[in-house]
């Protein structure tokens, strides 16, 4: 039974299969032996070395067609797992470091998304992110560039990177500009930071979606606030276990958050780095916490309702979801 799925949180550079990174590295004469081992697996040991490996693997994507290939590969894979919608976070800073302009980067990715859509009918959108540990000036530069160079598939603005650096107050201007320009906004918080980081993201960035957010569980009042204000958490359980935020999936708070009425979605974050896929996230969570088919559909519905897409697309996706559900229950 293939549950219809939707994803709101996946870093496109972090979704690159090691085999593709190796192939492009050879083509562009870049050494990636320090981040991909003999078995074709990414090498890292903690959040800091993960971020480093992520930077190196991103450096092999140098042309719009490299990025088109990456996006097409990822969206086809998502669709093969039953996804009807996916949002990828894109990092203009990483593209710039590889020598690509923002415009070429986005056009390359959009071409890949369109090709995957033609083949599989999957819908895709992009969320441009600023990298927190590059500082507030860099994040504001990204916001300005995204606003000055609009693209119909870039519908969101976000903040990723090392949550341990820089208070959200430093980024409030960038988020205000993005929101005023009509972009949906989301920020990583409550992954390595505690509940205070989630509260600060709500207060200073005024987001309605939070990347991760799971450590809100440590503050009862905050959990109630998230439920009351219908804040949507982009939960990435496999990522949290891989990075040691929780020692095992059965100790992950996703089930309790859901029971407390918090709107949660399931996501893969940086799938090959963490040995996961969106399909694995749905199936492992369902198995561990005994979620029914209907429970999983509710997660997909939440994701579509919170997606950074236009109303017509949202309605089409909801109709597709309901007809997939009908088909499955009719079987
Ligand atoms: N960039 C890529 N993956 C990330 C994560 N899990 N947290 C913060 N920034 C990231
Ligand atoms: Zn993330």
Ligand 1: centre distance to CA 325 (Å): 32
**pLDDT at position 1:** 60
User: What is the overall mean pLDDT for the chain?
Assistant: 97
**C-alpha 24: how far from its chain's center?**
23
- Average pLDDT rounded to a whole number, residues 200-206: 98
Percent with pLDDT over 90 in the chain:
95
CB of 282 shorter than 6 A to ligand 1: no
CB of 11 shorter than 6 A to ligand 1: yes
**pLDDT at position 143:** 98
Q: Which domain holds residue 237?
A: 5-16+61-329
**Whole-angstrom distance, CA of residue 262 vs CA of residue 101:** 39
Instruction: Kindly state whether residue 214 falls inside one of the protein's structural domains.
Output: yes
What CATH number did the domain enclosing 163 receive?
Answer: 3.20.20.140
115 to 15, 92, 120, 313: CA distances (angstroms): 17, 21, 9, 18
**Whole-angstrom distance, CA of residue 291 vs CA of residue 45:** 31
Best residue among 191, 235, 273 to mutate for probing ligand 1, ranked by most atoms within 8 Å of CB: 191
Ligand nearest to the CA of 197: 1
151-187: pLDDT as tens digits:
999 999 999 999 888 999 999 999 999 999 999 999 9
CB of 54 shorter than 6 A to ligand 1: yes
Instruction: Kindly state whether residue 35 falls inside one of the protein's structural domains.
Output: no
Instruction: Kindly state whether residue 21 falls inside one of the protein's structural domains.
Output: no
Can you tell me which atom of ligand 1 is nearest the CA of 243?
A: 6
CB of 212 shorter than 6 A to ligand 1: no
Best residue among 11, 52, 90, 272 to mutate for probing ligand 1, ranked by most atoms within 8 Å of CB: 11
30-87: pLDDT as tens digits:
999 999 999 999 999 999 999 999 999 999 999 999 999 999 999 999 999 999 999 9
Instruction: Kindly state whether residue 49 falls inside one of the protein's structural domains.
Output: no
Q: How many structural domains compose the chain? A: 1
Instruction: Kindly state whether residue 41 falls inside one of the protein's structural domains.
Output: no
**pLDDT at position 3:** 95
Instruction: Kindly state whether residue 52 falls inside one of the protein's structural domains.
Output: no
Whether 225 has a pLDDT exceeding 80, the answer reads: yes
Ligand 2: centre distance to CA 40 (Å): 22
**Whole-angstrom distance, CA of residue 168 vs CA of residue 136:** 9
Q: Is 221 a catalytic residue?
A: no
Backbone angles phi and psi of 233, in degrees to 5:
-95, 130
Whether 331 has a pLDDT exceeding 60, the answer reads: no
Beta bridge partners of 210: 187, 233
**pLDDT at position 328:** 79
- Average pLDDT rounded to a whole number, residues 223-248: 98
Instruction: Kindly state whether residue 69 falls inside one of the protein's structural domains.
Output: yes
Instruction: Kindly state whether residue 233 falls inside one of the protein's structural domains.
Output: yes
Catalytic residue among 7, 140, 191, 281: 191
Whether 324 has a pLDDT exceeding 90, the answer reads: no
Whether 330 has a pLDDT exceeding 70, the answer reads: no
Can you tell me which atom of ligand 1 is nearest the CA of 161?
A: 9
Ligand 1: centre distance to CA 191 (Å): 9
């Amino acid at each position: 039974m293939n549950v219809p799925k939707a994803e709101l949180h996946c870093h496109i550079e972090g979704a690159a299969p090691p085999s593709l990174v190796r192939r492009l590295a050879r083509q562009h004469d870049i050494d990636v032996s320090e981040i991909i081992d003999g078995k074709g697996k990414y090498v890292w040991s903690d959040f800091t070395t993960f971020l480093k490996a992520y930077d190196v693997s991103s450096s092999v994507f140098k042309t719009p067609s490299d990025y088109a290939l990456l996006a097409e590969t990822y969206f086809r894979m998502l669709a093969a797992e039953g996804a009807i919608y996916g949002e990828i976070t894109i990092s203009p800073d990483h593209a710039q470091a590889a020598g690509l302009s923002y415009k070429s980067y986005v056009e390359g990715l959009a071409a890949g998304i369109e090709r995957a859509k033609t083949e599989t009918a999957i819908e895709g959108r992009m969320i441009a992110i600023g990298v927190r540990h590059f500082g507030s000036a860099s994040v504001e530069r990204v916001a300005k560039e995204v606003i000055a160079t609009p693209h119909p598939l870039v519908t969101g603005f976000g903040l990723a990177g090392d949550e341990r650096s820089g208070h959200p107050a430093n980024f409030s201007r960038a988020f205000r500009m993005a929101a005023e320009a009509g972009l949906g906004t989301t920020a990583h918080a409550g992954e390595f930071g505690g509940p205070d980081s989630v509260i600060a993201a709500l207060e200073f960035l005024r987001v309605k979606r939070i990347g991760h957010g799971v450590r809100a569980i440590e503050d009862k009042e905050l959990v109630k606030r998230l439920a009351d204000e219908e804040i949507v958490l982009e939960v990435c359980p496999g990522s949290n276990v891989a990075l040691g935020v929780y020692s095992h999936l059965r100790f992950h708070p996703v089930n309790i958050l859901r029971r407390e009425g918090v709107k949660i979605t399931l996501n893969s974050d940086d799938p090959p780095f963490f040995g996961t896929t969106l399909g694995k996230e749905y199936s492992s969570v369902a198995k561990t916490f005994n979620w029914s088919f209907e429970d999983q559909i509710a997660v997909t519905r939440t994701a579509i309702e919170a997606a950074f897409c236009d109303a017509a697309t949202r309605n089409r996706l909801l109709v597709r979801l309901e007809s997939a559900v009908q088909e499955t229950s009719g079987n």
